[in-house]
Chains A and B, each alone.
Chain A
Amino acid sequence: GDSVTQMEGPVTLSEEAFLTINCTYTATGYPSLFWYVQYPGEGLQLLLKATKADDKGSNKGFEATYRKETTSFHLEKGSVQVSDSAVYFCALFFYNQGGKLIFGQGTELSVKP
Protein backbone atom coordinates (compact mmCIF):
# COMPACT_ATOMS: atom_id res chain seq x y z
CA GLY A 1 0.00 0.00 0.00
CA ASP A 2 0.87 3.66 -0.13
CA SER A 3 3.43 4.75 2.47
CA VAL A 4 5.90 7.47 3.46
CA THR A 5 9.34 6.99 5.01
CA GLN A 6 11.30 9.80 6.65
CA MET A 7 14.79 9.94 8.03
CA GLU A 8 14.91 9.26 11.71
CA GLY A 9 15.51 12.02 14.20
CA PRO A 10 16.29 13.81 16.24
CA VAL A 11 18.30 16.12 14.02
CA THR A 12 20.37 18.66 15.91
CA LEU A 13 21.86 21.65 14.09
CA SER A 14 23.48 24.94 14.94
CA GLU A 15 21.78 28.15 13.91
CA GLU A 16 22.40 29.09 10.24
CA ALA A 17 23.28 25.52 9.28
CA PHE A 18 21.85 23.85 6.18
CA LEU A 19 18.96 21.48 6.72
CA THR A 20 17.91 18.40 4.77
CA ILE A 21 15.23 16.01 5.96
CA ASN A 22 14.81 13.05 3.64
CA CYS A 23 11.43 11.71 2.62
CA THR A 24 10.63 8.91 0.19
CA TYR A 25 7.28 7.50 -0.71
CA THR A 26 5.60 4.47 -2.22
CA ALA A 27 2.37 5.08 -4.08
CA THR A 28 0.27 4.01 -7.00
CA GLY A 29 -0.37 6.81 -9.41
CA TYR A 30 0.79 10.36 -8.77
CA PRO A 31 -0.05 11.52 -5.29
CA SER A 32 0.13 15.07 -3.99
CA LEU A 33 2.96 15.49 -1.45
CA PHE A 34 3.15 17.66 1.64
CA TRP A 35 5.30 18.75 4.53
CA TYR A 36 3.54 19.56 7.78
CA VAL A 37 5.21 21.07 10.85
CA GLN A 38 4.31 20.65 14.50
CA TYR A 39 5.60 23.21 17.01
CA PRO A 40 5.72 22.21 20.69
CA GLY A 41 2.30 21.95 22.26
CA GLU A 42 0.44 22.53 19.01
CA GLY A 43 -1.26 20.60 16.25
CA LEU A 44 0.23 20.11 12.81
CA GLN A 45 0.09 22.85 10.20
CA LEU A 46 0.82 22.76 6.50
CA LEU A 47 4.30 24.00 5.60
CA LEU A 48 4.38 23.39 1.85
CA LYS A 49 3.04 21.12 -0.87
CA ALA A 50 3.60 19.92 -4.43
CA THR A 51 0.94 18.35 -6.58
CA LYS A 52 2.86 16.99 -9.59
CA ALA A 53 6.27 15.82 -10.66
CA ASP A 54 9.02 18.48 -10.69
CA ASP A 55 6.87 20.94 -8.74
CA LYS A 56 8.73 22.80 -6.02
CA GLY A 57 6.87 23.78 -2.89
CA SER A 58 8.26 26.59 -0.77
CA ASN A 59 7.37 28.52 2.35
CA LYS A 60 9.25 30.36 5.14
CA GLY A 61 12.59 29.58 3.48
CA PHE A 62 11.86 25.85 3.26
CA GLU A 63 11.75 24.08 -0.10
CA ALA A 64 10.97 20.60 -1.39
CA THR A 65 10.88 19.27 -4.95
CA TYR A 66 8.61 16.44 -6.10
CA ARG A 67 10.97 13.90 -7.70
CA LYS A 68 9.02 11.14 -9.42
CA GLU A 69 12.09 9.31 -10.67
CA THR A 70 13.44 8.85 -7.15
CA THR A 71 10.02 8.92 -5.39
CA SER A 72 11.35 11.56 -3.03
CA PHE A 73 10.29 14.87 -1.52
CA HIS A 74 13.22 16.01 0.61
CA LEU A 75 12.82 19.12 2.76
CA GLU A 76 15.61 21.71 2.67
CA LYS A 77 16.40 25.07 4.20
CA GLY A 78 19.56 27.03 3.61
CA SER A 79 19.91 28.60 7.05
CA VAL A 80 17.91 27.33 10.01
CA GLN A 81 16.87 29.40 13.00
CA VAL A 82 16.16 28.42 16.58
CA SER A 83 12.49 29.10 15.87
CA ASP A 84 12.51 26.26 13.30
CA SER A 85 12.83 23.73 16.11
CA ALA A 86 9.80 21.46 15.64
CA VAL A 87 8.72 18.08 14.36
CA TYR A 88 8.39 17.81 10.58
CA PHE A 89 6.06 15.34 8.88
CA CYS A 90 6.14 14.29 5.26
CA ALA A 91 2.76 13.17 3.87
CA LEU A 92 1.04 12.03 0.71
CA PHE A 93 -2.58 12.28 -0.24
CA PHE A 94 -4.18 8.88 -0.76
CA TYR A 95 -7.41 8.98 -2.71
CA ASN A 96 -9.64 6.15 -1.61
CA GLN A 97 -13.28 6.56 -0.73
CA GLY A 98 -12.90 10.27 -0.27
CA GLY A 99 -9.25 10.60 0.52
CA LYS A 100 -6.90 10.95 3.44
CA LEU A 101 -3.33 11.96 4.18
CA ILE A 102 -0.75 9.30 4.94
CA PHE A 103 1.93 10.71 7.25
CA GLY A 104 5.51 9.65 7.82
CA GLN A 105 6.70 9.06 11.35
CA GLY A 106 7.97 12.61 11.83
CA THR A 107 11.48 14.01 12.25
CA GLU A 108 12.32 16.13 15.25
CA LEU A 109 14.57 19.10 14.54
CA SER A 110 16.41 20.92 17.29
CA VAL A 111 18.33 24.09 16.40
CA LYS A 112 20.86 25.38 18.92
CA PRO A 113 21.94 29.04 19.10
Chain B
Amino acid sequence: DAGVIQSPRHEVTEMGQEVTLRCKPISGHDYLFWYRQTMMRGLELLIYFNNNVPIDDSGMPEDRFSAKMPNASFSTLKIQPSEPRDSAVYFCASSFDGGRNQPQHFGDGTRLSIL
Protein backbone atom coordinates (compact mmCIF):
# COMPACT_ATOMS: atom_id res chain seq x y z
CA ASP B 1 0.00 0.00 0.00
CA ALA B 2 1.17 3.53 -0.71
CA GLY B 3 1.98 5.54 2.35
CA VAL B 4 1.41 9.23 2.92
CA ILE B 5 2.73 11.10 -0.09
CA GLN B 6 4.08 14.62 0.21
CA SER B 7 5.26 16.95 -2.50
CA PRO B 8 7.59 18.52 -3.19
CA ARG B 9 10.36 16.80 -1.22
CA HIS B 10 12.49 19.92 -1.32
CA GLU B 11 11.56 23.53 -1.92
CA VAL B 12 13.89 26.50 -2.08
CA THR B 13 12.36 29.90 -2.67
CA GLU B 14 12.92 33.53 -1.92
CA MET B 15 11.41 35.47 0.90
CA GLY B 16 8.00 36.90 0.05
CA GLN B 17 7.02 34.14 -2.35
CA GLU B 18 3.99 31.94 -1.90
CA VAL B 19 4.72 28.34 -0.97
CA THR B 20 2.27 25.45 -1.30
CA LEU B 21 2.94 22.07 0.24
CA ARG B 22 0.83 19.07 -0.75
CA CYS B 23 -0.20 15.89 0.96
CA LYS B 24 -2.06 12.76 -0.09
CA PRO B 25 -3.10 10.72 2.98
CA ILE B 26 -3.51 6.99 3.10
CA SER B 27 -6.83 5.95 1.64
CA GLY B 28 -9.47 5.40 4.32
CA HIS B 29 -7.78 7.47 7.00
CA ASP B 30 -10.12 10.00 8.62
CA TYR B 31 -7.50 12.18 10.26
CA LEU B 32 -4.83 14.33 8.67
CA PHE B 33 -2.13 16.25 10.53
CA TRP B 34 0.39 18.90 9.52
CA TYR B 35 3.58 19.20 11.59
CA ARG B 36 6.63 21.41 11.42
CA GLN B 37 10.06 20.29 12.63
CA THR B 38 13.02 22.54 13.40
CA MET B 39 16.14 22.15 15.50
CA MET B 40 15.10 24.98 17.78
CA ARG B 41 11.46 24.10 18.37
CA GLY B 42 11.35 20.38 17.71
CA LEU B 43 8.16 18.84 16.29
CA GLU B 44 5.12 21.14 16.37
CA LEU B 45 1.55 20.28 15.41
CA LEU B 46 0.23 23.03 13.18
CA ILE B 47 -3.30 21.84 12.38
CA TYR B 48 -5.33 18.69 12.07
CA PHE B 49 -8.45 17.64 10.21
CA ASN B 50 -11.08 15.01 10.88
CA ASN B 51 -13.26 14.01 7.92
CA ASN B 52 -11.89 17.00 5.99
CA VAL B 53 -12.94 19.48 8.69
CA PRO B 54 -10.28 21.48 10.56
CA ILE B 55 -10.51 20.54 14.24
CA ASP B 56 -7.61 22.33 15.89
CA ASP B 57 -5.54 25.04 14.22
CA SER B 58 -4.10 26.50 17.39
CA GLY B 59 -0.59 25.59 16.27
CA MET B 60 -0.71 27.64 13.08
CA PRO B 61 1.88 30.32 13.74
CA GLU B 62 0.14 33.28 12.12
CA ASP B 63 -2.18 34.41 9.38
CA ARG B 64 0.45 33.82 6.73
CA PHE B 65 -0.21 30.10 7.15
CA SER B 66 -3.36 28.43 5.87
CA ALA B 67 -4.38 24.81 5.32
CA LYS B 68 -7.18 23.22 3.37
CA MET B 69 -8.54 19.76 2.82
CA PRO B 70 -10.97 19.94 -0.11
CA ASN B 71 -11.50 16.17 -0.15
CA ALA B 72 -10.46 13.01 1.65
CA SER B 73 -7.45 12.41 -0.56
CA PHE B 74 -5.74 15.78 -0.66
CA SER B 75 -4.58 18.58 1.60
CA THR B 76 -2.47 21.69 1.16
CA LEU B 77 -0.50 23.90 3.50
CA LYS B 78 0.14 27.36 2.14
CA ILE B 79 2.49 30.07 3.34
CA GLN B 80 2.00 33.55 1.92
CA PRO B 81 4.20 35.53 2.11
CA SER B 82 7.05 33.25 3.15
CA GLU B 83 9.82 34.37 5.52
CA PRO B 84 13.26 32.88 6.31
CA ARG B 85 12.03 31.77 9.76
CA ASP B 86 9.56 29.45 8.01
CA SER B 87 12.48 27.27 6.91
CA ALA B 88 11.83 23.81 8.36
CA VAL B 89 10.79 20.29 7.48
CA TYR B 90 7.03 20.01 7.16
CA PHE B 91 5.40 16.64 7.72
CA CYS B 92 1.96 15.41 6.89
CA ALA B 93 0.54 12.41 8.75
CA SER B 94 -2.72 10.48 8.58
CA SER B 95 -4.47 7.93 10.76
CA PHE B 96 -7.74 6.09 11.37
CA ASP B 97 -8.42 7.35 14.86
CA GLY B 98 -6.05 10.25 15.46
CA GLY B 99 -3.36 7.95 16.78
CA ARG B 100 -5.15 6.58 19.83
CA ASN B 101 -5.10 2.90 18.85
CA GLN B 102 -3.83 2.99 15.32
CA PRO B 103 -0.54 4.72 14.51
CA GLN B 104 -0.16 7.99 12.76
CA HIS B 105 1.56 7.37 9.43
CA PHE B 106 3.99 10.08 8.42
CA GLY B 107 5.14 11.15 5.00
CA ASP B 108 8.82 11.72 4.31
CA GLY B 109 8.39 15.47 4.68
CA THR B 110 9.02 18.59 2.63
CA ARG B 111 12.29 20.35 3.39
CA LEU B 112 11.56 24.05 2.92
CA SER B 113 14.27 26.68 2.65
CA ILE B 114 13.33 30.35 2.44
CA LEU B 115 16.21 32.56 1.34
A residues with CB within 8 A of B: 32, 34, 41-46, 49, 51, 89, 91, 93, 95-101, 103, 105-106
Contact = CB atoms under 8 A, between A and B. Distances in A.
Nearest to A89: B43
Interface string B32-58: 010000000011010010100001100
A51 B99 contact: no
Contacts of B107: 43
Contacts, number: 65
29 contacts: A32-B100, A34-B99, A42-B106, A42-B108, A43-B4, A43-B93, A43-B106, A43-B109, A44-B43, A45-B103, A45-B106, A46-B104, A51-B101, A89-B43, A93-B98, A95-B98, A96-B56, A97-B55, A98-B55, A99-B31, A99-B99, A100-B56, A100-B98, A101-B98, A101-B99, A101-B104, A103-B42, A103-B45, A106-B43
Contacts of A41: 108
A55 B56 CA distance: 30
Contacts of B103: 34, 45-46, 49
A49 B102 CA distance: 10
A91 B55 CA distance: 20
Interface residues of B, number: 24
A98 B98 contact: yes
B104 A99 contact: no
B91 A100 contact: no
Contacts of A51: 101
A101 B43 CA distance: 11
B43 A100 contact: no
Given A44-B91, A44-B104, A89-B43, A100 B109 contact: no
A44 B107 CA distance: 8
Interface string B5-22: 000000000000000000
Interface string B81-107: 000000000010100011111011111
Contacts of A97: 55-56
A43 B91 contact: yes
